[in-house]
Structure formats: structure tokens, C-alpha cells
Chain A
Amino acid sequence: MAILIGGLGLFWALRDRGDEDARADEEVASVEVRAEEDRPRTRFDGNEWRDVTPPSRGRSSAEREAALLSGAPTSGPTPRYPSGRMVSSLDVYRAMSAYPPDSRPLEPERHHDLIDWNRQQHGSNPIEGDEQGTTYLYTADLAWVMGEGPIRSWLQVSRDDQPVEAEVLQAWVAPNARRGEELTPQQRQPVRLEYTRDGDRWVHDLVPAQAFPNVPRRSIDLVFVIEFTYEGATRPARAALSALWAPPGAQPARFTGTFRDAVEAGSLAIYVGVEVTEPGFFNVDANLWGEGEAPVAWTKWRGDLTPGQQEIRLSFFGKALVDSGASPPFRLEQLRGFRYAESQSPAVQPMDAYPGAYVCTSREGFADAEWDDPLREERIAELERVESQGGNPPVPLESFLGNLPPEQRAREAERLGVDPNDFTAEALSRIELPPDEPEM
């Protein structure tokens, strides 16, 4: 029986291997051509912010397994981390806690999720059952949809980085809320969506407040489903996406547009006015920018808010301002927040993001000192205790230095006697590890 199963597995793995090898060769060749042409991206996904060149891709686990079964040569011992150096958890924590956990340097290359914060994060996906390498992108322009506002969703089908003719068969959107005030069967009724062609894409603009006028005032997941066919399809394909909608009147609080700022204990404190209609536990996030669009820092505030007008205090850590090297005036932007209702699902109740910026009056007096907090000292003492017993996970130097903001990376690299330029995102993206041999 085992032989039979093994034989079937071997047959499955090796079937059509000749064709696969040929296709793999074509893929490798096409990747090389793209690199020579210096194309900015390797996936035709229509998302401008993702117009980056992903790291070069080695063989996947499936390809390695197939190579092993076919007797293709494999590489020697794998270097698990090219630097050959590890950093202890204790040193990792000492470095990361130079800044407090809720206010740290803002890095555009790393923190696109904090800057372009309301973007859906979807990539192109292969179409299930398609053997031609056809991919689709089904996404939307927003992750949070507020009140009576619209959300644009679109479908794009491609193959070999080129658009493929597609046709939408049917599409619909349905509201969903798993816990808390339930939706009635009538409120959960899906609404049909009519997509229209827009160049290479099929596009739909939905105003949820018009499509679902009678839902309760609570956060709701909107689940979009689309069925489509395309040139060369052997059967229809289906895709889905979701967005979080706060119906009109469901916002638990609003930013009043009042601000003031001060330098407090070497950090920049910005007091933000809010008016709360539904008390509870809130998160508020924001970014700080300097003159000439220079990125400075991000911050997060968490706490309980009571009904009525009040201020919350956003703190941008002094050392993050100093390390940024940015010049004043400093601007508060991307101010957004939500109430978190753990007894409901979806639990997140978004506030309308503040659409503008606040220019701070404070220009100097920021401290260069590291974060000084009793919990930091306690955590270091605890890590020292466990470190002495070999209990903490170490980190390859690449991951440690790659995770630090530029100024701190330079300091730590000097301390460790290495070149910080070897650990930038661009340098790290070039690391290739030979595959190790799978155990059989």
C-alpha cells in the first residue's frame, strides 16, 4: 500500500514535468528580460503604491521538491544567515526600546501602511484552476468606508504582466456582522453590482449608504464577490474582498479640529480635540512631518474616552524628532482613530479621519535621550535573567539591523563594526540563500 501511495505521489509530482520545466525556463528567461529593461514592477496589479521591484525570487519549495525528485543537482550547505552573526534578544530589546513602543521614527519605505493607511493590501493572485499563469487583482480604493462616502472596487486580469480581456458575469456585495446587534435577513440581502469597463479594468462605485439604507448604526463588513470569465478561461472564476463600513451615525467620536502643542519632557505633545458620542476604549494614530515633506515620527494613543468634548494627548518622542534631522515647522497628518468594542464583531468602529494638517508652534527643545521607563528596566532585567539560562531567541544580524531606522542602524552598525549600507532594505533585498536539501 505504501509503495502504491508513494508511486502515486511520485507520478503526481513528475506528471507533465517536461512541460513544467519548459514553462519554468520561460519564466526565468522572462524575469531576466524584465530586469534588463529595468521595469519597475513584475506584477501588473494597477496599484501605484506597490510599484516597487520585489526581491528576486528563487525556486519555490514546490520547485525544489520537483528538482529533487527529478535528480537535478542541489546546492551545498545552506548559509542560514550570510553575516554569520547573531544578536541576542537582550541587545535587540535594548536597541528597540531606545524609543518608546508607541512613538518611533517614521520611515516611508517601511511604513507605507501608516502613511497610505487606508489602502487595501491585496496583490495579484493566480486564478484557481488556470494553467496559463493568468492572475487577477480584485481590490478597492479603501479599507474603511465612512458614512455616506463611496468605495470603488475593480477587477483586473492579466497574464505575463499584460492585460487579458475579461468579462464580469455577476457581482454582488452583502453586509456582514458576526456579533453584537444582529442584521435581519432583509438587511443582509446582497445587492447586485454592475461593473463598467474602464480601460483594462472593470470598475464599480458603490455608495453603501444608498445600497443598504436600513442597517443599524454599527460597524459592518462589506463582502464583495465577483464572478468573471476571461480570454482563454476554461471555467468561470470567482474572487472576493471585504471593507469595513461605518454607516451614517455610527462614528463613535469625531475630531473637532482644535489643536495645541507644547514641548513636554523633551517630546512634542499635541493635544487633539475630540467629541465623543459613544464612550469606550479608543486608538488614535497619526504621523508627524517636517519641512519639505521630511518624515519624522509616528505615534499611537490608546485609552478610555468619556462622552462629550475633551482632548487627547499625542506624544511624539523627542529622540525620534532629533534623529529625523527634519527642520520645523512640524505638521501633524494622517490623524485617524477608532473605538474598539470587543463585545462586537467587527470590533473596530472607525472615526472620520481628520482631512487636514495641524502645523505645530513648537520648533525646538526636543531631547536626544533614550526612552527612560521603569517597565523598560524591568523587561531588560527579565531578559537578562532568561538570557543567562539560554532561553531567548537570537536574531540574525541582517534582520536586526534591517529593522532599525536609519540613524539607529548607523549607530548600531558602528558598534558592531559593520557597514550599515550592507543592511539597508535595498541591500537586504538582494540576499539569496541556496536552497537546502529536503529531508525525504
Chain B
Amino acid sequence: MKTLATLALVAFVLLPSVADAQTMIYVNGLGSTNWLDGSSKGETPRRANLSWINTHVDAWVDQRYDHQQAVAQFKGILDQHCRGTNWCYVMAYSNGGAVTTETLSVYGNQWKIAWIFTTAGNQGGSEISNMSWMSELFGGCDMADEIGPGVHRRPSFNHNAVPVAVYNVGGDGYCWGCGLGATHPFLPGNDDGVVAPHSAYSYTNTNGYDHGCQATQWTNHYTAYRCDGVNEDHFKVKTQHIQCLESGC
């Protein structure tokens, strides 16, 4: 009897209860199909090394052809992992920030999501979307012309109505990988070579900003950890939010 009681106690301690399940969902950027897909050109992806996470989910969201199909796929992932008693934490990179916030804006408060954390998020759109060689920068991606400010800031997406806090970090380093930095002149403010601060820090207009603590951001969108970007380009900050969570930044 004593043995049975001991086994039961061990089982209780070792098996996480359903109510305690924390799932971290990773959403990649333009040109990718999943977090581990290198087509977004971001640095080698990795999972967060945090003790309180029970499950890591690589979101299979196809961001090569059709942004709104990506939104539909991401909704399916939330339906699968973020209902019932399971709590989700979303880590998004680049255009994954737009996929995430647009999904939450359209569908609202129907999932158990604690927060969203973007790095170099494209929720406000990128001015280089319509440039002739934007598509080539991301490996011939057809979706490149769907991710500009004129599309991501359409009235359909009330970014103020994302029902959870959106935390943002970004980079402002010189982008040698962006055609030897040739993209910088086309982006307003202190950019990372692909997205401008108005996008990465969720500002409500497309003006030029130096950092993330300057003026009006969409309701419930916040700059996390530090006002300015880390001194790296768009591709090197892919896992910046993970690094910030693990060891600060």
C-alpha cells in the first residue's frame, strides 16, 4: 500500500497536470513554411530554453504565396493547441507578427493566449514590399507584394482589438545582407533593413521613428525590455525575443 501511495505521489509530481500546460508557439516570417524553415533568411532558429514551458510548437504556416491563407492556417494551430485549459505563448518573427496579430484581431478573444512576443515584427507592413527586388530577397516569394503598409494597415485589421498584450523587440543594425544595405533608404526611421520601427514597434502611423518609446502605439502593443533596437539587422534578430526572455537584452 505504501508502495502504491509512493508511486501515485511520484506520478503526480512528474506528470504535469493539464491545467499547468504551457505551450510556446513559434511563427516564422516571409517566404517560410515553418519556424525551422530557413527561407525567411533569419538566423538559425531555436526553441526557448525556459523551464516553465511544457510544449514547443513549430507553427506550419505557409508564408510563400498568400498571406490570408497563412492567417487561416495559424487559426487552425491556435484551435488545436490553445483551447481548454492549455495556455499558449506566441513567439513571432517578421511577417509572423502580422499573421499573428491579424488572426487575433479578426477572431478575437477565443483562445487561451497569455501574450504575443514579436521580434522585428511586420504587423505594420514594410515599405520595401513593392520594390522590384523584394521578392528575390526572400527567394522568389510570391507573397512579397502582400505585406506592405497599405495592406497590413487596411481597415479590416483593427490592430487595437488584439485581445492580449503584444510585446515587441527589434533590431536597428546595418543590413549587409539587404543588397549591401541598399534597402535602408526606403524605410523610414531607424530600421533593420527590412522593417521600419513603425512596424516593429506597432506605431499607429508610418512616420519615421528612432526607437520604440516615442509616441502612439496601437492599444495594447508595447515595447519590451528596452526602448531601442539591438544593434543587429533584420535577419540576425530572429531569436532576439527568445534571448531576451532567457537572459534579458
Contact = CB atoms under 8 A, between A and B. Distances in A.
> Do A and B actually bind?
yes
Interface of A: 9, 12, 50, 52, 54-55, 57-62, 64-65, 78, 80-82, 89, 92-93, 96, 101-102, 104, 107, 109-114, 117-118, 120-123, 125-126, 128, 139, 143-144, 178-179, 223, 238-242, 244, 283, 285, 298, 300, 302, 336, 338, 340, 342-348, 350, 375, 378-379, 382-383, 385-386, 389, 391-396, 398-400, 402-403, 425, 428-429, 431-433, 436-439
A102 B226 contact: no
Contacts of A302: 106-108
B210 A112 contact: no
Contacts of B173: 61, 438
A54 B150 contact: no
A121 B115 contact: no
A438 B68 contact: no
Given A285-B155, A346-B68, 15 more contacts: A55-B210, A62-B174, A92-B222, A101-B164, A110-B204, A111-B160, A117-B155, A128-B132, A239-B130, A386-B22, A389-B51, A402-B216, A403-B221, A429-B214, A431-B227
Interface in B93-109: 106-109
Contacts of A429: 214-215
Contacts of A114: 158, 160
A438 B219 contact: no
Contact of A122 (B115, B132, B149, B160): B149
Nearest to A109: B216
B138 interface: no
Contacts of B219: 96, 104, 110-111, 403
Contacts of B181: 62, 65
B220 interface: yes
A53 B86 CA distance: 45
Size bracket, chain B contacts:
35 or more
Interface in B134-192: 145, 149-151, 153-156, 158-165, 167, 172-176, 180-181, 184-186, 188-192
Given A61-B191, A120-B150, A433-B210, A393 B127 contact: no
B200 interface: no
B25 interface: no
A389 B94 CA distance: 27
Contact of B130 (A240, A385, A432, A433): A240
A89 B89 CA distance: 13
A128 B233 CA distance: 21
15 contacts: A50-B207, A61-B193, A61-B233, A82-B227, A89-B115, A101-B163, A111-B160, A121-B206, A143-B150, A240-B145, A375-B109, A395-B167, A399-B223, A403-B219, A433-B227
Contacts of A117: 155
B11 to A, nearest CB: 22
A367 B51 CA distance: 42
Interface string B24-62: 000000000000000000000000001110000000000
Those 5 A-B pairs whose CB atoms lie nearest each other, nearest first: A101-B163, A80-B226, A398-B213, A54-B207, A393-B224
B108 A102 contact: yes
A61 B216 contact: no
Given A60-B191, A143-B155, A395-B167, A81 B227 contact: yes
Contact of B109 (A101, A350, A396, A399): A101
Nearest to B249: A80
Contacts of A350: 156
B211 interface: yes
B213 A57 contact: no
Nearest to B149: A121
Q: DSSP majority for the B interface?
A: loop
Contacts of A93: 115, 165
Contact of A428 (B20, B165, B214): B214
Contacts of B193: 61
A61 B161 contact: no
A25 B197 CA distance: 24
A233 B73 CA distance: 44
Contacts of A62: 174, 181, 184-185
Contacts of A78: 228
Nearest to A437: B231
B208 A342 contact: no
Contacts of B192: 61
B121 interface: no
Contact of A393 (B180, B207, B220, B244): B244
A348 B156 contact: yes
B224 A9 contact: no
A431 B214 contact: yes
Given A61-B190, A302-B108, A393 B68 contact: no
Contacts of A391: 50, 52, 245
Contacts of A139: 150
A89 B165 contact: yes
A347 B66 CA distance: 11
A93 B87 CA distance: 15
Given A121-B205, A382-B114, A389 B52 contact: yes
B81 to A, nearest CB: 15
Nearest to A302: B108
Contacts of A436: 228, 231
Nearest to A142: B155
A399 B161 contact: no
Given A178-B66, A348-B156, A111 B204 contact: yes
Contacts of B241: 393
A425 B216 contact: yes
B206 A123 contact: yes
Given A101-B109, A144-B155, A386-B52, A379 B227 contact: no
Nearest to B153: A121
Given A242-B150, A342-B75, A382-B114, A438 B231 contact: yes
A60 B190 contact: yes
